[in-house]
Amino acid sequence: MFLSGVFGIVIGIILGLTGAGGGILAVPALVIGLGWSVTASTPVALFAVSAAATVGAVDGLRKGLVRYRAAMLMALLGAVFSPLGVYFAHSLPNAVLISLFSLVMVIVALRMIGQVRGGQAVITQAKPQWQEKNCMLNPESGRLRWTMKCSATLALVGSVSGLLTGMLGVGGGFLIVPAFQHFSDIRMHGIVATSLMAIALISAIAVTGAIHAGAHITATGGVFIAASVSGMLVGRFLAPSIPAKAIQLGFAILCMVIASYLMLKTWM
């Protein structure tokens, strides 16, 4: 119980420092720290991610940053595909799930390292291509232009996020945030706030599906969830005082180390 609380606080702080993408560490914390299987860890991790994302989403709604229709569309498609992910999670061997999870962690780490190395150059190169974005804001109203291309893009992002959420217990922030950056001209604050709302909804739906499939949250899991939300608030408080590049690089290194450990422990 004590270890569950400690791991929850640590994961919560990382969530607060890195944004919703930090939820990818919740499952490894339970698998490595408490010896749980991926299937048992998934609903607890999702509940923690959903609770933490909800806090951020409420703050974003209060500030008027959330593109709530985009978030609802992604959540709706996530709701359709997350049960399929839950089905795969209960059908595949634990070793296969850990391998898939490790692969996702490596991809996230490489993307963050690329962001740190690219720096301002990436932003500068992206500006001339603003006309090629799938989802564009109306300069007069400030709202998204709901074209077929934009709707299809958001639907695809929500579908893949829901599938991975149900199968691996990841919130989906590592996918939704970069997808928004690439396919839309929404400012970063709006991207993060919208992502948090979508993640909160998708994770909550996936938790419901996992519980319906027979999973349950124990008292130890409840302590982890409560501690992660508390830690998330601490992380949000600390985030402005720590350089963004240092947070990204540290998170990337941590993901690579954990992924390597999980693979070695599983297959060696």
For the stretch 161-186, pLDDT in tens is 888 887 887 767 777 877 887 888 88
| Residue 31: exposure state from Cβ atoms within 10 A (0-12, 13-18, ≥19) | buried
Global model pTM greater than 0.85: no
The total number of structural domains that make up the chain: 1
Enumerate residues 6+ apart whose C-beta is below 8 A from 222. Answer: none
| Residue 261: exposure state from Cβ atoms within 10 A (0-12, 13-18, ≥19) | middle
Question: Can you give the pLDDT at residue 159?
Answer: 92
Length of the chain, please? 268
d(CA 150, CA 134): 5
- Which of the residue ranges 90-99, 120-129, 171-180, 198-207 would you say has the lowest mean pLDDT? 120-129
Q: Which of 26-30, 82-86, 139-143, 145-149 has the highest mean pLDDT?
A: 145-149
Using an 8 Å Cβ cutoff, are 254 and 106 in contact? no
| Residue 259: exposure state from Cβ atoms within 10 A (0-12, 13-18, ≥19) | buried
Residue 116 predicted with pLDDT over 80: no
Q: Which of 6, 76, 30, 19 is nearest to 169 (CA)?
A: 30
For residue 230, what are the domain limits?
Answer: 2-267
